[in-house]
A and B are shown apart, each in its own frame.
Chain A
Amino acid sequence: GDSVTQMEGPVTLSEEAFLTINCTYTATGYPSLFWYVQYPGEGLQLLLKATKADDKGSNKGFEATYRKETTSFHLEKGSVQVSDSAVYFCALSEGQAGTALIFGKGTTLSVSS
């Protein structure tokens, strides 16, 4: 079945450091790919998405490129802030609208000043 694998955390960085969180997937078809963020005490929020190969999703300084050849969707940010501390989930969705998401296990990011 479809699955998502993301790097285990926690990831601990100093403010303004470069961030990469790796995410790879297995899927039978051509999924849409997502990154969700969960801030402490809050629900999941969509951070960015890409719906086809070579698409780049971006938001709030975060970027991820849908790489079909490597089945990857790594999350990057050039300069992290303390406010980026959260849990980040990579996810995929196959098929049409209304299809459930398959999540990775989540990566906790902790940024210190």
Chain B
Amino acid sequence: GAVVSQHPSRVICKSGTSVKIECRSLDFQATTMFWYRQFPKQSLMLMATSNEGSKATYEQGVEKDKFLINHASLTLSTLTVTSAHPEDSSFYICSASPVSYEQYFGPGTRLTVT
């Protein structure tokens, strides 16, 4: 089946630093990738839609200058949290969509900002 990986799985960083999270589709090409954020005991909230070779589309309320998304190839999208603060601590999940309705999710990245 389709596999999506994320790296790192966990990261702890100091306030003010930047963190990059990678999302890769391992055995298929994904024209579109999505970035979600999941708060404890809450649902996944869509942050942005990432299309290969073009600028990401951000959801209302998501700061595009803070959450930089790059979809450089059909198998890789990156999310960079710039100048991270404790309130950015969360579980970040990516998904990749081939040419079907289905989305395949990565295992998530736990970000803790101290």
- In the assembled complex, 15 residue pairs joining A and B whose CB atoms fall closer than 8 Å, in A order, are A43-B4, A45-B105, A93-B103, A97-B98, A98-B31, A99-B101, A100-B34, A100-B49, A101-B103, A102-B46, A103-B43, A103-B44, A105-B42, A106-B43, A108-B41
Q: Could you tell me the distance between the alpha carbons of A106 and B44 in the complex, rounded to whole angstroms?
A: 9
Q: Mark B78-114, 1 if CB is under 8 A from A, else 0.
A: 0000000000000001010111111111111000000
Q: Please indicate the chain B residues that have their CB under 8 angstroms from the CB of A101 in the complex.
A: 34, 44, 46, 95, 103
Q: How many B residues touch A, CB cutoff 8 Å?
A: 25
> In whole Å, how far is A85's beta carbon from the nearest beta carbon of chain B?
16
Q: Please indicate the chain A residues that have their CB under 8 angstroms from the CB of B44 in the complex.
A: 44, 89, 101, 103
- Residues of chain A touching chain B, judged by Cβ–Cβ distance below 8 Å, are 32, 36, 42-46, 49, 51, 89, 93, 97-106, 108
Q: Please indicate the chain A residues that have their CB under 8 angstroms from the CB of B42 in the complex.
A: 105-106
> In whole Å, how far is A15's beta carbon from the nearest beta carbon of chain B?
24
A43 with B105: in contact, given A89-B43, A103-B44, A106-B42 (CB under 8 Å)?
Answer: yes
Q: Could you tell me the distance between the alpha carbons of A103 and B49 in the complex, rounded to whole angstroms?
A: 15
Q: Could you tell me the distance between the alpha carbons of A89 and B103 in the complex, rounded to whole angstroms?
A: 14
Give the residue name and chain of the A residue nearest to B4 (CB).
A43
Q: Is B43 in contact with A98, judged by CB distance below 8 angstroms?
A: no
Q: Please indicate the chain B residues that have their CB under 8 angstroms from the CB of A104 in the complex.
A: 43
Verify if B75 is at the interface (C-beta below 8 Å from A). Answer: no
A105 with B43: in contact, given A42-B107, A49-B102 (CB under 8 Å)?
Answer: yes
Q: Is B93 in contact with A32, judged by CB distance below 8 angstroms?
A: no
Q: Mark B51-87, 1 if CB is under 8 A from A, else 0.
A: 0000000000000000000000000000000000000
